[in-house]
Chain A
Amino acid sequence: GAGVSQSPRYKVAKRGQDVALRCDPISGHVSLFWYQQALGQGPEFLTYFQNEAQLDKSGLPSDRFFAERPEGSVSTLKIQRTQQEDSAVYLCASSVGGSSAYEQYFGPGTRLTVT
Chain B
Amino acid sequence: AQSVSQHNHHVILSEAASLELGCNYSYGGTVNLFWYVQYPGQHLQLLLKYFSGDPLVKGIKGFEAEFIKSKFSFNLRKPSVQWSDTAEYFCAVNAGQAGTALIFGKGTTLSVSS
Report A's interface with B, CB cutoff 8 A.
Answer: 3-4, 31, 33, 35, 40-45, 48, 50, 55-56, 59, 91, 93, 98-101, 103-109
Given A107-B43, A109-B43, verify A98-B104 contact (CB < 8 Å). Answer: no
Q: Which residue of A lies closest to B91 (CB)?
A: A42
Contacts of B68 in A (CB 8 A): none
Whether B95 and A100, one on each chain, are in contact in the complex, defined by CB atoms closer than 8 angstroms, is yes
- New contact pairs (14) apart from A42-B107, A56-B101, CB-CB < 8 Å: A40-B106, A42-B90, A42-B104, A45-B101, A48-B99, A48-B101, A59-B101, A91-B43, A93-B44, A100-B32, A100-B96, A101-B51, A101-B96, A104-B102
Question: Is B97 on the interface with A (CB-CB < 8 A)?
Answer: yes
Bitwise, B101-114 to A at CB < 8 A (1) or not (0) is 11111110000000
Report B's interface with A, CB cutoff 8 A.
Answer: 4, 32, 34, 36, 42-46, 49, 51, 90, 92, 94-107
Q: How far is the CB of A113 from chain B (nearest CB, A)?
A: 18
Q: Which residue of A lies closest to B93 (CB)?
A: A100
Q: Which residue of B lies closest to A108 (CB)?
A: B43
Most buried by B among A41, A59, A101: A101
